């Protein structure tokens, strides 16, 4: 049997992965995605029968950080095998082919899997001047996305740029960059934001797609609820210090050394939905807050433009001193006018006496 025709179960057996390990993996994914435990055997059976899924991954206006994150695995885990199992038919950075050969690879993949392939998008898409600011092989990424989306079964936007525009869309957004769902509106789209996103989220999404043939349940920003329902603040191990009123006010004070809450240092944990606090990065080694830095809110739209990473969430935009002075001057004028009117009224009533 050709390697390409193997089911996932057969592939795992070929790789020497025991059913016990596979069931553990399925239970883990089910748990992280809030799928009932009773569903795990059915999920495992369905997943084992899954055939190799065609995936086309496009890199648009991006920095390759997302790809770095997704490929950063240290051990030959089942998660890795899930990544390996999909047929990554096109990826600029990882494939050997270049130029015309690369384009041929996309066209072949599209033709052979029309209507069935999963389109993974990394990076924002510029709209300004017909998308001329981001071009590959003479084709704007705007046109490329429209063309590829047409034959896709579903689209997964990887990273904050593909999801919401990210750094490309930061003010003043010179290229008119946007996320995928602002361009494509007639396909199932799932956003996996993060700068970079978490590999485990991608595993969960791929597993769900392979097992159930559909994208998982999403929130209002099209993020999988299983990973993005809670805020970082909800799950942060420093939350107890917030509740106790113990804070770090600088990166080298007593509070910082004792690992207290980083809220005054601009931590965006309370308004950021992601799973970093529970899954962590680099296979559970650490995550930004554990390293002593506040959350920068990278999985939320417009996180670059939220008044700086070090300004506390409680801070507001007070406006200019001139504006407040003008308001006070207007108040004086209104007050004086009211008093004059009142005095005139008094004079009128008293007849000037």
Rule CB under 8 A: which residues touch other proteins?
231, 233-234, 242-247, 249, 263-264, 270-271, 301-302, 306, 311-319, 323-324, 327-328, 330-332, 334-336, 338-340, 342-343, 346
Q: Which is nearer to other proteins, 187 or 246 (CB)?
A: 246
Residues paired with residue 273 on neighbouring β-strands, in sequence order = 231
Q: Which is nearer to other proteins, 246 or 293 (CB)?
A: 246
Q: Which is nearer to other proteins, 185 or 314 (CB)?
A: 314
Q: Which is nearer to other proteins, 291 or 350 (CB)?
A: 350
Q: Which of 334, 227, 315 is nearest to 267 (CA)?
A: 315
User: In angstroms, what is the minimal distance from the CB of 255 to other proteins?
Assistant: 12
Helix (H, G, I), strand (E, B) or coil at 58: strand
Q: Which is nearer to other proteins, 100 or 322 (CB)?
A: 322
**CA 17, CA 37: separation in Å to the nearest integer?**
22
Q: What does the H/E/C string look like for 147-162?
A: HHHHCEEEEEEEHHHH
* The two structure tokens encoding residue 209: 């797609």
User: In angstroms, what is the minimal distance from the CB of 238 to other proteins?
Assistant: 13
**CA 257, CA 197: separation in Å to the nearest integer?**
28
User: In angstroms, what is the minimal distance from the CB of 7 to other proteins?
Assistant: 40
What count of other Cβ atoms lies within 10 Å of the Cβ of residue 60? 25
User: In angstroms, what is the minimal distance from the CB of 151 to other proteins?
Assistant: 34
Q: Which of 95, 87, 84, 82 is nearest to 29 (CA)?
A: 82
CB of 222 within 8 A of CB of 181? yes
User: In angstroms, what is the minimal distance from the CB of 185 to other proteins?
Assistant: 21
User: In angstroms, what is the minimal distance from the CB of 57 to other proteins?
Assistant: 30
Q: Which is nearer to other proteins, 132 or 324 (CB)?
A: 324
CA pseudo-torsion sign 37, 42, 46, 47: positive
Apex 121 CA angle, 185 and 224, nearest 5? 70
Helices (H) and strands (E) in the chain, counts: 16, 9
User: In angstroms, what is the minimal distance from the CB of 343 to other proteins?
Assistant: 5
Residues for the chain: how many in total?
A: 353
Q: Which is nearer to other proteins, 285 or 324 (CB)?
A: 324
CB of 197 within 8 A of CB of 69? yes
Residue 249 vs residues 121, 255, 266, 291, 293: alpha-carbon distances, Å: 39, 7, 10, 16, 12
Q: Which is nearer to other proteins, 185 or 317 (CB)?
A: 317
User: In angstroms, what is the minimal distance from the CB of 348 to other proteins?
Assistant: 13
Q: For the purposes of burial, counting CB atoms within 10 Å of the CB of 251, is it exposed (0-12), middle (13-18) or buried (19 or more)? A: middle
Residues paired with residue 126 on neighbouring β-strands, in sequence order = 177
Q: Which is nearer to other proteins, 22 or 247 (CB)?
A: 247
SS percent in the chain: helix, strand, coil, step 5: 45, 15, 40
Q: Which is nearer to other proteins, 288 or 301 (CB)?
A: 301
User: In angstroms, what is the minimal distance from the CB of 176 to other proteins?
Assistant: 17
User: In angstroms, what is the minimal distance from the CB of 114 to other proteins?
Assistant: 38
Residue 47 vs residues 3, 142, 223, 351: alpha-carbon distances, Å: 17, 34, 22, 95
């Amino acid at each position: 049997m050709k390697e390409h025709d193997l089911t996932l179960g057969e592939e795992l057996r070929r790789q020497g992965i025991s059913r016990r390990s596979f069931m553990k993996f399925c239970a883990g994914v089910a748990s992280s995605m809030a799928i009932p435990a009773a569903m795990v055997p059915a999920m495992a059976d369905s997943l084992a029968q899954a055939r190799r899924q065609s995936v086309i991954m496009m890199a648009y206006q991006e920095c390759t950080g997302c790809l770095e994150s997704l490929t950063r695995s240290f051990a030959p885990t089942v998660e890795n095998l899930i990544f390996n199992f999909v047929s990554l038919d096109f990826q600029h950075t990882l494939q050997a082919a270049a130029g015309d050969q690369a384009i041929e690879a996309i066209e072949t993949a599209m033709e052979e899997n029309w209507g069935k392939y999963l389109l993974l998008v990394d990076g924002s898409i510029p709209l300004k001047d017909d998308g001329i600011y981001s071009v590959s092989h003479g084709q704007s990424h705007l046109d490329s996305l429209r063309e590829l989306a047409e034959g896709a079964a579903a689209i997964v936007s990887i990273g904050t740029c593909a999801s919401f525009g990210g750094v490309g869309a930061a003010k003043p957004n010179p290229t008119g960059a946007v996320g995928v769902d602002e361009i494509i509106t007639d396909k199932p789209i799932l956003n996996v934001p993060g700068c970079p996103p978490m590999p485990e989220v991608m595993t969960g999404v791929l597993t769900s797609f392979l097992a159930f043939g559909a994208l998982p349940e999403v929130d209002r920003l099209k993020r999988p609820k299983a990973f993005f329902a809670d805020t970082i603040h909800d799950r942060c191990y420093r939350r107890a210090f917030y509740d106790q009123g113990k804070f770090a006010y600088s990166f080298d004070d007593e509070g910082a050394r004792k690992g207290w809450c980083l809220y005054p240092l601009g931590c965006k944990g309370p308004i950021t939905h992601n799973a970093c606090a529970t899954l962590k990065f680099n296979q559970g080694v650490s995550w930004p807050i554990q390293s002593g830095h506040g959350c920068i809110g990278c999985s939320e739209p417009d996180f670059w433009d939220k008044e700086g990473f070090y300004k506390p969430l409680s801070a507001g935009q007070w406006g200019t001193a001139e504006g407040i002075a003008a308001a006070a001057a207007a108040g004086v004028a209104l007050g004086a006018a009211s008093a004059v009117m009142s005095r005139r009224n008094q004079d009128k009533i008293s007849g000037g006496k």
